[in-house]
Structures are given as structure tokens and as C-alpha cells.
């Protein structure tokens, strides 16, 4: 089932359960799909829909950090719940150990003088696009580069 159809089904369930936060979150995802469809000028493919949801999750994560910094725990809690709802829609992310194996392979393929964060990220990101968070990948790359030094 396509992601949009899954969200529509969950939207109906949220309406029946009168779960307002879930309802608003799923509606915002459908709205984001509509905006992206208009932007692209075509129907969205599954990969495009996943990118939209991933962007919404990142926005929620950024908001959580700002609300916590602004001492607004109630808003941070709401954003956390929304992020969790949206994250459940995404495919499973790779673990740090799976990422580490990919990073080690990529670093071995690079010449010793090219083993820096920029070159490693440029090699690894296309391989792990959509399968892992960029910040997690960056952390693993930095750890592996330190281990090699």
C-alpha cells in the first residue's frame, strides 16, 4: 500500500478515535503531499512521499530542540508526539553498526590522502540515502576517521 493510502487509512482511524493530535499530524502530511505535487507538477512517487514525510520529521525534531531551549516543555511534548507519529510511517532506519560497515568499506576505497569527512560523506550519503539519518551517518564517519588517525 502506498504511503498516502496508509496515511488516509490512519486518518480515518484517528477520526473514529477522536485523537486530535494524530488527526492534525496526518492532515499536515497529506497537505504537504499536495504542496509537493503542485511543486513537482506530477503525481508523487513513493520515494517522493517518503522524502516529504522525512522532511516533516526533521522539522518536528528542529522544533523540539527550539521549544526545549525556549523552556516550553508542553509544546516540545506535542512536537515529540507528532514526530513519533510521522516516524512510524517511514521505513526502518539502518542501525549504527550497519552504517559503520558501509562507512568502513567506503573509507577503504578512498586513497589515504582523501580520507576526510567531506570525501567520506560524499561517498556514503548516496549509498545510505533514505536508509539512515544524516546526523547519525556523520557521527559514524567522524568516529571511523578518528579510529584511522
Same domain as 33, residue 75: yes
* CATH number of the domain enclosing 18: 1.10.1510.10
Query: Same structural domain for residues 9 and 82?
Result: yes
pLDDT at residue 2, rounded to an integer: 86
Q: Which grid coordinates belong to 30? A: 497529506
Instruction: Tell whether 8 and 75 lie within a shared domain.
Output: yes
How far apart, in whole angstroms, are the C-alpha atoms of residue 86 and residue 81? Answer: 9
| Separation CA 35–CA 53 (nearest Å) | 12
Q: Are 100 and 142 in a shared domain?
A: yes
Instruction: List, in order, residues 6 or more apart from 142 with CB less than 8 Å away.
Output: 117
The cell numbers describing 21, all together, are 493530535
Residue 1 pLDDT level (bands cut at 50, 70, 90): low
Cell numbers linked to 46: 513513493
Query: Are 101 and 75 in a shared domain?
Result: no
Tally of CA atoms within 13 A in the half-sphere of 87 that contains its CB: 14
Q: Please indicate, yes or no, whether residues 8 and 81 belong to a single structural domain of this protein.
A: yes
Q: Are residues 45 and 21 both part of a single domain?
A: yes
Statement to judge: residues 130 and 64 lie in one domain: no
Note whether 16 and 77 are same-domain residues: yes
C-alpha cell at 128: 545510505
Average pLDDT over residues 39-66: 92
Confidence class of residue 15 from pLDDT cuts 50, 70 and 90? very high
Rounded Cα gap, residues 137 and 57, in angstroms: 17
Confidence of residue 106 (pLDDT cuts 50, 70, 90): confident
Measured on CA atoms in the order 24, 66, 3, 13, is the torsion positive or negative? negative
Domain boundary pick from 36, 63, 87:
87
- Choosing from 87, 122, 138, the residue where a domain stops is 87
Q: Which domain holds residue 23?
A: 3-87
Q: How many domains does the chain have?
A: 2
Do residues 113 and 57 share a domain?
Answer: no
Q: How many residues does the chain have?
A: 149
Whether pTM > 0.85 for this model: the answer is no
Amino acid at each position: 500500500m502506498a504511503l498516502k493510502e496508509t496515511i488516509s487509512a490512519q486518518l480515518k482511524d484517528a477520526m473514529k478515535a477522536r485523537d486530535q493530535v494524530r488527526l492534525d499530524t496526518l492532515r499536515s502530511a497529506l497537505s504537504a503531499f499536495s504542496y509537493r505535487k503542485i511543486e513537482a507538477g506530477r503525481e508523487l512517487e513513493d520515494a517522493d512521499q517518503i522524502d516529504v514525510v522525512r522532511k516533516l520529521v526533521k522539522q518536528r525534531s528542529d522544533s523540539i530542540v527550539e521549544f526545549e531551549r525556549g523552556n516550553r516543555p508542553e509544546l516540545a511534548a506535542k512536537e515529540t508526539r507528532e514526530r513519533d507519529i510521522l516516524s512510524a510511517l517511514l521505513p526502518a532506519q539502518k542501525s549504527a553498526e550497519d552504517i559503520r560497515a558501509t562507512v568502513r568499506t567506503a573509507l577503504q576505497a578512498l586513497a589515504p590522502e582523501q580520507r576526510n569527512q567531506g570525501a567520506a560523506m560524499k561517498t556514503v550519503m548516496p549509498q545510505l540515502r533514505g536508509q539512515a539519518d544524516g546526523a547519525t551517518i556523520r557521527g559514524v564517519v567522524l568516529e571511523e576517521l578518528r579510529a584511522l588517525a
